[in-house]
């Protein structure tokens, strides 16, 4: 397993014009995360605890779109968790889960967000799955940036 292999891992970096605490709030507050993820995460931020993402349907029902386990939590610094999507059509077993690792690094007056997701190497169509995940993360990170900067501007006002 090579965690740097761009064929089977996702590596993204984004600069946010807000401090790590504001980015952390946008990342971990379910109502804020829903604004850019499209799904609301439900979890207790403690290692070993389950995490689930739900989409609320027009009928009011909730649909599970992803789930995993919290692996590491360092407020305003790092969030690491496993993730599995039922829509992947893979069996719901540990080998079908990938890992997401988000680091928030102070950068001047803002924050550098570094994301790694992998390793897709053991999954069928690994390169395609990594590319799709990478495209999704670009959208999610741009949304995270927007929401975190709005949170920070509102607090500063």
CA-based torsion, 9, 12, 18, 20: positive or negative? positive
User: Using an 8 Å Cβ cutoff, are 37 and 138 in contact?
Assistant: no
At 78 the pLDDT is 97
Q: Which two tokens stand for residue 32?
A: 């804020």
Number of domains in the chain: 1
* Model confidence at 4: pLDDT above 70: no
Distance CA 7, CA 51 (A): 27
- Residue 5 covered by a domain: no
* Rounded-to-integer distance, Cα 143 and Cα 137, Å: 10
pLDDT digits (tens, 9 = 90+) for 16-58: 999 999 999 999 998 999 899 888 888 888 999 999 988 888 8
Judge if pTM exceeds 0.75: yes
For residues 73 and 133, give the distance between their C-alpha atoms in angstroms, rounded to a whole number. Answer: 22
What is the pLDDT confidence band of residue 3, given thresholds at 50, 70 and 90? Answer: low
Query: Residue 20 domain-assigned?
Result: yes
Q: What is the CATH number of the domain that holds 48?
A: 3.30.530.20
The tokens 């803002």 sit on which residue? 110
On whether residue 125 sits in a domain, the answer given is: yes
Q: Which domain holds residue 40?
A: 10-156
């Amino acid at each position: 397993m090579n965690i740097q292999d761009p064929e089977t891992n996702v590596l993204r970096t984004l600069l946010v014009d807000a401090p790590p605490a504001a980015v952390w709030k946008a990342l971990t507050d379910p109502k804020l995360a829903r604004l850019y993820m499209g799904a609301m995460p439900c979890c207790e931020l403690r290692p070993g605890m389950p995490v689930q993402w739900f989409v609320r349907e027009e009928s009011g029902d909730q649909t599970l779109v992803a789930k995993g386990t919290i692996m590491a939590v360092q407020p305003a610094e790092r969030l690491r968790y496993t993730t599995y999507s039922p829509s992947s059509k893979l069996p719901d077993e540990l080998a079908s889960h990938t890992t997401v690792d988000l680091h928030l690094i102070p950068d001047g007056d803002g924050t550098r967000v570094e994301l790694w997701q992998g390793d897709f190497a053991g999954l069928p169509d690994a390169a395609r799955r990594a590319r799709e995940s990478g495209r999704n993360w670009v959208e999610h990170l741009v949304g995270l940036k927007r929401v975190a900067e709005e949170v920070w501007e509102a607090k500063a006002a």
